[in-house]
């Protein structure tokens, strides 16, 4: 019996595949490589020493996706596939609604047809919008502020309805806070196409001298040093949360929502200084105007996941910074090797 991992070639999906394979699960990946590279396949294999199946399929193409269900004994599905840029979703809302909603509906239709009712879904802390208070618990008000965020909220509602109609479904909705870091081997990590928007990939590119300077968006927020506070969490901790959710789903039906965060917040300046401390690399930065839509403080109350899934984030901020940097250095070395061949 296999776990179908949609979007398994992407950042969080690839780390989850590693943890699944290490834990002895059989894995089938579906990904259209719209935001990931084929090299990830080999890297997952190198890390785990295990084989798995990969289908390059666009999930909007139902007949192609059905082939995966037909050819494999699928036990459960982890659904990562989706587009994830807030900025891009504002420019291309229809692309986001079509890709994220239709892929989920097509997937659920096939799961229903093949009587597979165990699903773990990637949601996001973005569904909390501007939080009324921190730490943010799962019961906090939901108010997505972008088309991307609304796709997550809509999918959460679709899944509620799917479960309402057939209560044999076991669904875990995982709301991630700010995933950073990379596998300790440095072989897989976040590899955004084009210029990154997020803090950590921008820091590592400044450290690698691919960019001259880090722009810090605002220092006048009501926080310890005026810069925004976020709950950064190691991607491997996030990956392990999925294994815990799969196990919970297997033992009970129902639909449950969990925050995956550390419960601790760090400011932008604190992240810069942690990164400099553990890597020894100076990060030149400049404070510029606040970025529109940023909230001052956002961190999780992760106690529900601890109580009900037995999951807790383990890795500290220094390790997150070091692993992010190791991944960037390895990518630089790979690029150099390609040039020298
Ligand atoms: P990612 O872009 O690295 O991975 C997503 C993968 O899905 C990519 O490999 C992409 O090629 C694939 N994909 C997209 N549309 C597809 C389609 N129609 N058919 C098949 N494959 C398709 O993103 P990630 O950071 O690994 O995020 C995984 C999930 O977690 C996403 O749903 C994202 O919205 C969510 N999430 C991410 C973050 C974050 O900061 N990284 C935070 C909260 C939630
Ligand atoms: N930041 C900078 N400079 C940069 C990039 C970011 O100062 O070059 C700051 C931002 O202003 C923010 C903090 O760093 O204060 C974190 O920004 P990110 O873009 O890394 O993360 P966000 O919290 O804005 O958003 C991320 C994902 C969203 C997701 C959200 C909640 O990008 O998709 O976490 O999970 F919805």
The phi-psi region of residue 252 (left if phi > 0; otherwise alpha if psi is between -120 and 50; otherwise beta) is beta
Q: Which residue has the tokens 């699960």?
A: 25
Cβ–ligand 2 contact at 204 (below 6 Å) = no
Ligand 1 mean position, distance from CA 183 (Å): 17
Which ligand is nearest to the Cα of residue 125, counting in written order? 2
217: domain CATH number is 3.40.50.720
Give, using CA atoms, the residue closest to atom 14 of ligand 2.
Answer: 199
Cβ–ligand 1 contact at 78 (below 6 Å) = no
Residue 67 within a domain = yes
CA 179 – CA 340 distance, rounded (Å): 33
Residue 341 within a domain = no
Q: For the segment 224-236, what is each residue's pLDDT rounded down to a tens digit?
A: 999 999 999 999 9
Position 341 scores a pLDDT of: 63
Handedness of CA 29, 33, 36, 39 (dihedral sign): positive
**Three-point CA angle 42, 43, 49, nearest 5°:** 80
State mean pLDDT over 189-199: 89
Q: For the segment 154-190, what is each residue's pLDDT rounded down to a tens digit?
A: 999 999 999 999 999 999 999 999 999 999 999 999 9
Q: For the segment 63-90, what is each residue's pLDDT rounded down to a tens digit?
A: 999 999 999 999 999 999 999 999 999 9
Residue 339 within a domain = no
Evaluate if residue 43 carries a pLDDT over 90.
yes
Residue 122 within a domain = yes
Which ligand is nearest to the Cα of residue 214, counting in written order? 2
CA 60 – CA 152 distance, rounded (Å): 17
CA 226 – CA 245 distance, rounded (Å): 36
Give, using CA atoms, the residue closest to atom 34 of ligand 1.
Answer: 84
What contacts 24+ positions apart, CB below 8 Å, involve 139-144?
A: none
In the residue annotation, 148 being an active-site residue is answered as: yes
CA 298 – CA 324 distance, rounded (Å): 21
State mean pLDDT over 96-102: 98
**What's the domain count of the chain?**
1
Which structural domain range is residue 98 located in?
2-332
Contact 255, 160 (CB under 8 A): yes
State mean pLDDT over 26-51: 98
């Amino acid at each position: 019996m296999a776990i179908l991992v949609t979007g398994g070639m992407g950042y969080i999906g690839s780390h989850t595949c590693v943890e699944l394979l290490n834990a002895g699960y059989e894995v089938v990946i579906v990904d259209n490589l719209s935001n990931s590279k084929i090299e990830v396949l080999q890297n997952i294999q190198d890390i785990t020493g295990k084989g798995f199946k990969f289908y390059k399929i666009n999930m909007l193409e139902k007949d192609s996706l059905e082939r995966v269900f037909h050819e494999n004994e699928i036990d459960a599905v982890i659904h990562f596939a989706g587009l994830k840029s807030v900025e891009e979703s504002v420019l291309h809302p229809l692309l986001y609604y079509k890709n994220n909603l239709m892929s989920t509906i097509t997937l659920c239709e096939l799961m229903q047809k093949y009587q597979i009712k165990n699903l773990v879904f990637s949601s996001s802390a973005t569904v909390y919008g501007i939080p009324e208070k921190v730490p943010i618990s799962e019961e906090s008000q939901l108010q997505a502020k972008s088309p991307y965020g609304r796709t997550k909220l809509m999918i959460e509602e679709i899944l509620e309805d799917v479960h309402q109609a057939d209560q044999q479904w076991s669904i875990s909705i995982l709301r991630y806070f700010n995933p950073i870091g990379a596998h300790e081997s440095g072989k897989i990590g976040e590899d955004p196409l084009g210029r990154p928007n997020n803090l950590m990939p921008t820091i590592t590119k400044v450290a690698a001298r691919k960019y001259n300077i880090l722009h810090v968006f605002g220092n006048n927020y009501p926080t310890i040093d005026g810069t925004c506070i976020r709950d950064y969490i190691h991607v491997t901790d996030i990956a392990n949360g999925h294994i815990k959710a799969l196990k919970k789903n297997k033992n009970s039906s129902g639909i449950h929502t969990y925050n995956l965060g550390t419960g601790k917040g760090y400011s932008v300046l604190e992240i810069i200084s942690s990164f400099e401390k553990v890597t020894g690399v100076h990060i030149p930065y400049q404070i510029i105007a606040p970025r529109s839509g940023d909230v001052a403080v956002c961190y999780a109350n992760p106690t529900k996941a601890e109580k009900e899934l037995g999951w807790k984030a383990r890795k500290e901020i220094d390790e997150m910074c070091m692993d992010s940097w190791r991944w960037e250095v390895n990518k630089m070395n790979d690029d150099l090797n390609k040039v020298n061949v």
